[in-house]
Structure formats: C-alpha cells, structure tokens
Amino acid sequence: MKLPLSLSRVYFKVFLGFWLVMITMLLGSNVIMHFFSIGPDKHLSSQEEEYYSGPGGRLMREVVSDAVNHDLVQVTHGLQSMPEWATQYVYLIDTEGKDLLNREIPDRVFRFLRHIDEQSPFFRKRIGSENFYARQFQLMDGTQLRLIVAAPENNILGWRLFIHNFWHILLLDILISGAACYYLARYITRDIQTLKNATQQIADGNWDIHIAEEFCDRPGELAELGRAFDNMAVKLQKSMLEQKRLIKDVSHELRSPLARLQVALAIAQQRANSEITDELDRIKAAADYLNDVISDILSLPVTEQESWELNDVVELSSLVTTIVNESQDEASLKQVSLNLTNNLPEVLVNTRGNTLVGVFDNIIRNAIRYTESDSTVTIALEYSSQNNPQISVTDCGPGVDDKHLDDIFEPFFRTDEARDRKSGGFGLGLAIAKRTVLHHGGTIKARNNSTRGLTIVVTLPAAEEI
C-alpha cells in the first residue's frame, strides 16, 4: 500500500514510535531479568548477592546447571562447542588435574583447586581486577569435576552472556512487535488519510464528499467523527452558497436603481447651470464608483477551481507593453515614471477573451496608485526558473505587512494600513486577478522589497507550439 508523502511521515512516526517503545520495554525487561537474576524461578537473596553476583558467578551457574545433566563425553563436547570468548574464562578440571580442553592451567587458577572439595564445594575470591569462582560438582555418570571461572571485574562478560542467551528471544520479540506495530499504525493512519483526502476535496470545491459511511464500522468516537465531518461539510456548503447568492442578488437588485440614477443624472447634467455642475460631477463620480463595485462583484468567479475554456491566445509582451503605454498619462499626473524591462521574445499564452488585460491593468494601476510621487514603477518581463514567462510589477509605496501578503488576494480584504488609507479601492481587484491567473494555470504572488514597496509577480504557462 503506497502512502502519500505527508501521510508516510505520520505513518512512520506512529509505527517507529510504537515499535521503539515495545523494543525498549522488551530489552529493558530482559536486561533486568538477566543482570538481577529476576524471573519466575529466580529471586534475589543475600546468599546470591554474596556468592554468585557478577558475570563470572552467572557463567559458573550456567555451566554447572547444564553440565550436571550430562556425562563426561557430552560435557567435553559441549565445552568444545562453546565460543572462545566464554572458554577463555572457564576451566573444567577432572580428578587427574587436567583441563577438559587440554589447556595448560595457569598458576593463578591452579591455586584455587585446593580450596574446593566435597565438604567445601564452592569458593570465591577477588584478586586484583579479576573475580575467581571455584565449584566442585558431579556429573550424571558420577564423574567429579572442578570448575574455575576467572572473570574480569568489568561487565563485558555480562553483556556477552546476555546477547548469547537472549539474542534469539529479542529477535523474535522485535519481529512480532514490529508486525503488531505495523498493523496498529496502519489502522490509525488509515482514518487520518480518509480525513485528509476529504478535507482536500472540500478545499478543491467538491462539497459532495461524505465519509460517514467509511467510518460506520469504526469504534464509537470515530463513527461520530465521520458524521460530524459530513455535517460540517453540509453546513459550510450551505453557508457559502447562501453568502454568494446574497451578494449576487443584492448586486443585481442594485443595478436597476443605479441605472435609473445614472440616466437621471445625465439628464440633470445637460439641464444644469454652472452653479450645481460641481455637485453633479461629485454625484456622478460616486455613482460610477458604485457601478464599478457592482460590476466587480458580479464578475468575481465563485471558486478558484471553476474551469474556463481557454479558447484564445495572446502575445504576452505586446499585451503588457500596450497596457504600460496606456498607463503613462495616469502615471504622469502623479509624476511617476514607468520603467519597462522586456527580456521576453514573442511568447504566446492561452487565454479567454480579454481577461488577462484586466489582470495586468489592475496590477499596474495599483502600483501607480500606491507608489510615492516622483518615484518609479518597474515592470519586468522575463523567464522564471521553470522557464515560464513571468511579469513582475514593483512600486515604491508603503508595502504590506508580511503576514498579509497572501490575504491581499482575498475578496474584500482591507489591511487598514498605509496602502488602504491611500486607496479608494474596495478589495476586489487583486482577488479577481488571482482567480483569473489561476484559471490560466499560472500563479500570482506578492512580496515586500528589501528597501520599500511591493512587488507582484505573475507567472503564466506558455502556449504549446503547434
């Protein structure tokens, strides 16, 4: 089952988290049982603490407990099959004083033989950095053997014994716990994936998504979560549709009286004398402003995902150059210079009617409106890093707070800061521009300049050559 990257990170975090906890618990319990001799058939006692504590005593117990159930031949064969790291500490000596592995017995080991016999079968002593353990015991065939264990003071032998005794158990525990954690993490993240997909579809404008049926076989809380999600989606859809319908209806209702007002105003201007001309001009400006607001509201696409058929092509360099030239008069009134840098050859982009004209006209006129007097607005045409045509418009105005750089493309958003105080706009121009650019398969972004002002960057895909 292939998981998306974002879900994979969640999935593996859950999986590895559970698995590491399980491994830590299993490893910790086995370490405690091994090093503290705790288990169903073991216990801590003062005698064991005094005589058998330490890795050397543990090795001695293991050798003796295994050897007493076998005869001399079996013990000799078993001793020969032991790993070298263990036999270097162990000496099994028969009644003739010979090592079962035919090794030469060191003097320090040989001196301990006189300390053990049938009356005193166990002896322990520490000399320097070594702990010596001596034990006499009888095999199943009646053979008497004496065991000497010379163990170092450090715990390297203890860890080697732990790994040797428990590696197969730990491996089995890791595999079983890994399988259990895998299915547990998959079960948990499956519901996260369902919610993620449903949320993404709602963000893409698909309000018909429902997940309650997928969650109906889950435990009580998850089933309730599925129903709550569907209920939320229905209410959000209803709320958004009502809001859009209200805006459209109000705008349409305002159109008729506004049209009558403009007709009456035109007649009044024809008949007016010079005394009320200025007042009528102000009324006309207000009526035209209101008409622009209504037109922009009605032209605003409902969702970013609405598909437009791009049934035309336009040469981008010529389009932007024409808009810049037409804006020269407005810029001159404010003593603003328009600096056009065109590094694009003739490049065609798919479009629909004159929709891109409104995009660049709005962006360039906004830059002229917000830039300082006696400053420069820079328009640059070039290729982006992905080799797509890119248009940048930079002003020398007050800029926008970094936290609002994305918000300025939302309908009716006003920052109530310097740019808004200087603007008579109503927060729809950039929203319409964004929706239009998205419908063209492009991107539009805003960034503050290092010194002052704002830069709007529009990137569009080039039309495929036929």
Three-state SS letters, the chain: CCCCHHHHHHHHHHHHHHHHHHHHHHHHHHHHHHHCCCECCECCCHHHHHHHCCHHHHHHHHHHHHHCCCCHHHHHHHHHHCCHHHHCCEEEECCCCCECCCCCCCHHHHCCHHHCCCCCCEEEEEECCEEEEEEEEECCCCCEEEEEEEEECCCHHHHHHHHHHHHHHHHHHHHHHHHHHHHHHHHHHHHHHHHHHHHHHHHCCCCCCCCCCCCCCCCHHHHHHHHHHHHHHHHHHHHHHHHHHHHHHHHHHHHHHHHHHHHHHHHHHHHCCCCCHHHHHHHHHHHHHHHHHHHHHHHCCCCCCCCCCCCEEEEHHHHHHHHHHHCHHHHHHCCCEEEEEECCCCCEEEECCCHHHHHHHHHHHHHHHHCCCCCEEEEEEEECCCCCEEEEEECCCCCCCHHHCCHHHCCCCCCCCHHHHCCCCCCCHHHHHHHHHHHCCCEEEEEECCCCCEEEEEECCCCCCC
Query: Considering the domain boundaries, does residue 63 fall inside one?
Result: yes
In this structure, the answer to whether residues 427 and 368 fall within a common structural domain is yes
Query: Considering the domain boundaries, does residue 165 fall inside one?
Result: no
In this structure, the answer to whether residues 316 and 436 fall within a common structural domain is yes
In this structure, the answer to whether residues 384 and 439 fall within a common structural domain is yes
In this structure, the answer to whether residues 246 and 329 fall within a common structural domain is no
In this structure, the answer to whether residues 319 and 254 fall within a common structural domain is no
Q: What CATH number corresponds to the domain at position 85?
A: 3.30.450.160
Q: What CATH number corresponds to the domain at position 417?
A: 3.30.565.10
In this structure, the answer to whether residues 455 and 316 fall within a common structural domain is yes
Query: Considering the domain boundaries, does residue 362 fall inside one?
Result: yes
In this structure, the answer to whether residues 328 and 286 fall within a common structural domain is no
Domain that holds residue 263: 220-299
Q: State how many domains the chain has.
A: 3
Query: Considering the domain boundaries, does residue 71 fall inside one?
Result: yes
In this structure, the answer to whether residues 343 and 285 fall within a common structural domain is no
In this structure, the answer to whether residues 148 and 270 fall within a common structural domain is no
Structural domain ending residue among the three candidates 138, 154, 170: 154
pTM: 0.47
In this structure, the answer to whether residues 360 and 431 fall within a common structural domain is yes
In this structure, the answer to whether residues 254 and 323 fall within a common structural domain is no
Q: What CATH number corresponds to the domain at position 231?
A: 1.10.287.130
Query: Considering the domain boundaries, does residue 423 fall inside one?
Result: yes
Query: Considering the domain boundaries, does residue 307 fall inside one?
Result: no
In this structure, the answer to whether residues 447 and 324 fall within a common structural domain is yes
Query: Considering the domain boundaries, does residue 199 fall inside one?
Result: no
pLDDT tens per residue across all 466 residues of the chain: 444 444 456 666 677 777 777 777 777 776 666 555 554 445 444 444 444 456 777 777 778 888 888 888 888 888 887 777 777 778 888 878 888 888 888 877 777 777 777 777 877 777 666 778 888 888 888 888 888 887 776 666 666 666 666 667 777 777 887 777 777 777 777 777 778 788 888 777 777 777 777 777 666 677 777 788 888 888 887 877 777 777 667 766 777 777 788 788 788 878 777 677 777 777 887 777 677 667 666 665 555 555 557 788 999 999 999 999 989 988 998 899 999 999 988 889 998 877 888 889 889 988 998 999 999 999 999 998 888 999 999 999 888 888 888 888 887 776 655 444 445 555 677 888 888 898 888 999 999 998 889 999 999 998 876 5
